[in-house]
Amino acid sequence: MFPGVMDVDAAIRTAMESGGFSVPAPNQKIFKEQCAFCFKNPHGPDGLYINLRNYHAFCKQHAVIYANHTSYNLWVQFESTKVAVDEQRSDGEPTTKMTKLTIDAEPKYEFEDKYSVVIHPEYDNKFSNVQGIPEIVETIKTINESTSAERLALLTSTNNGWDNEIKLITRHANLEQSDEGKVLALSGWNCEVEDCGLSENLWLNLTDGAIRCGRSQFLANGEKTRGNGHMQDYFNATRFPLVVKLGTISSNLESIDVFSYDEDDAVIDPNIVKHLMHFGLDPEKMEKTAKSTLEMELDMNEKWEWARCTEDGAMLEPIFGPGYTGLINTGSSCYMNSVLQALIQVDSFRKRYSDQALQTMLNCPIEMLHNDFNAQFSKVIHAMLSGDYSSEADPTHNHIKPLQFKRVAAGSHPEFSTAKQQDVEEYIRFLFENVSKQNQNEDIDPTDSLRFQTWNRFEDNASGKVRYTEQEEVILRLPLPEGIMKPTEKENHYTVDMTDAVQACFSKQFVEGYKSPITGEPKGANNTLSMKTFPDYLILQASKFAYTMEGVQKKLDVEMEVSETLDLSAFRGHGKREDEELLPKDTAPPADAPPEIPANVRAVAGELMIMGFQENQSIRAAYFSNGNAEVATNWLMEHLEEPDINAPFVMPTGTPSARGEIDPNLVDSIVEMGFSRHQATYALKQVPTVAEAVEWLFANLDSIPEESAAAVGTSSDAPEASVTESASKKSFKDGSEKYQLIGIITHMGSRPDSGHYVAHMLKDGKWVLFNDEKVALSQDPPIKLAYIYLYKRVD
């Protein structure tokens, strides 16, 4: 189409002048590792196309769509091709300036980068000779030399996949520097130790300007960086602590590699510009030419992630195609991966986040796309269901890394934003809450098909009067009381029949110590749970984790005989019957006597008395520690000198107290009655006993604030709806009470926040194992050992 050089230059100029070009700003974020709409990268066919208006990258398919959508028609095609390295070379220098060394199995390879200018829609016409347009030449140079926006986000975020990536601000921010007037050149450095002379892996001491080589660092597969550790020797001799890696200095201050020897860590130097200018080094005039230590560590971790396999799966038959895409573990993210594999079995999630994926991403402003919850969820779910990353013909790319989704979905949550293992049940609740919030103004809230309502029937045993409350839930918790656990020959190992656990879930729960607001008699109460609505998909949780008296969470060694078909019709509730009389609203027990001391408080007080403490001391300590023996002992030792420590103890009436952490056993007692952990914990902060907490919940359920959910990415500027407004928009499916098991999530380990999670899903009549990036037909799915069960309604 463009036969001559002048014609090419003219065509590019025309595209630039029509709004397709913007000169990259000094700190321009340049995306070049992954397509904005999918998971394709520059190493695949056609590479990536970097838009020269906003510097976001797209694969060829999505570049065409995006150009048609925006009229931004000028691109740089970035192709990165793996080529064999000449092993006879010994100088260790890269072959060209546009080459990045990577690590692979023998033989060794390099990635050779190629850049071409492309004008939409003529993607087959690639222009490499653009010397007549200096703006484009400089832009391509900037793209090549920049650290990608994706990598910068990983390096600077506290929400990354590796614990050692979090940097702290150095205590040497006000470092005293020598005044000898040493001025350094902007390049061409060498190690200043005699007979060394290394020109790579060089570090600058920020105290006196000494240049020394770093240590030889192991990368992977036997590869090491060159270095003799002379800067370490220099620190040992001088105790000058702060050093910076030469080659990482540029105007992008976040990518400068600073290390503190006496803090023994990579650090942030808030005065790095001042410290560098002291030696004549102006970051604005320098370019990044070397990888930081952290980048090299990331390369090693990614290589390990990509290639690792487990012995357990060695004999399993891999399976490929749409819906069989593996998810790389980004750092204890198996809990998230297992949940995502379960959610793509749910029709409403497929419809919202796969069928509407392209439109969702096109409707999101490009500058917000990488932090938008719905856009990132769409990107992941569509990729998992596309089959593009699950092909028998290309086994090296049969997985995706949902790192960006993990970061956006977690937001600033103090747990889910870390690289720590998490409880998958808590993550499901957290994720569903965010999905609902991000879709409250959309046509589809995919959690509607999993959300259901329950009835709580509370009966005052003294008066026979009742109270009904409605509860919203997304998970049905199956209790495992001792009465249904059958011991086996193995010590502390039990079996449970799921039908017994279901029956226990909907059986009467006695509320000890409840005093009738009608008669004043302490005859207790009964609470009974029933189903008001039945969702299209039902999640069950086996309550395998219990708290000991010391407040430590422990996993029960239980196998469950699972009903793969479930009929819950016997547990549908119908609300108040005609012959029932309701308890009056806003009633409280008569105040003629103080509340009784709970049994758990008396039990712990008894333990303290055996240790030699007085009765009133012991009761007071047990109460203010919520019946936790270890906490009570510590509390007592801290308060023994108080003058009223042994005064007669009178139980406070239901006012909020300043007690310590809530006893998780008390929370569990309330949760077993059908309330959420958040509701139970909140109620126990208002009143001290289970009986009072249950009564308080029935009277104040609507006033409990929503559980705090960290902010997640959103493209909406609209203010958040109130709790009442948000809840009123939620809908509940209802239909047949019969279900078929279609998936499980299994936990291996002693606590829910440690160990490992895997998912097994029933697809096309076959059980499939999803163990992070490994996907294979299952020979023996561990249904009896599962923690989470996913059922689908059978009409």
Numbered residues of the known binding site for Zn(2+): 191, 196, 213, 230
Largest CA distance in the chain: 101
Annotated catalytic residue: which of 43, 397, 678, 756? 756
User: Hey, what's the torsion of the CAs at 764, 337, 471, 452, to 10 degrees?
Assistant: -20
Asked if residue 156 lies in contact with residue 254, where contact means CB atoms within 8 angstroms, the answer is yes
Record the tokens describing residue 359, joined without a space: 């439109």
The amino acid occupying position 301 is N
Positions at the binding site: 191, 196, 213, 230
Instruction: Name the 3-class secondary structure at 613.
Output: coil
Q: CA 21 to CA 117: how far, in whole Å?
A: 12
> In the chain, how many H helices and how many E strands?
22, 31
Main-chain dihedrals φ then ψ at residue 120, nearest 5 degrees: -65, 135
Could you tell me if 733 and 533 are in contact, meaning their C-beta atoms sit under 8 angstroms apart?
Answer: yes
10 sits in which H/E element: helix 5-15
Whole-angstrom distance, CA of residue 71 vs CA of residue 203: 46
State the pairing for strand pair 202-205/168-169.
Answer: unpaired
Helix axes 149-156, 403-410, angle to 10 degrees: 50
Question: Among 35, 334, 364, 505, which one carries the catalytic annotation?
Answer: 334
Give the H/E segment covering residue 777: strand 774-777
Q: Are 470 and 457 in contact (CB under 8 A)?
A: no
Q: State the Cα–Cα distance between residues 150 and 69, nearest whole angstrom.
A: 24
Q: How far is residue 701 CA from its own chain's centroid?
A: 30
Task: Return the percent helix, strand and coil in the chain, to nearest 5.
Answer: 30, 20, 50
Q: Is 756 a catalytic site residue?
A: yes
Rounded to the nearest angstrom, the gap between the alpha carbon of residue 357 and the centroid of all alpha carbons in its chain is 21
Cα–Cα dist 621/177, whole Å: 56
Is residue 487 reached through a cis peptide bond, with omega within 30 degrees of 0 on the bond before it? Answer: no
Q: What are the catalytic residues?
A: 334, 756
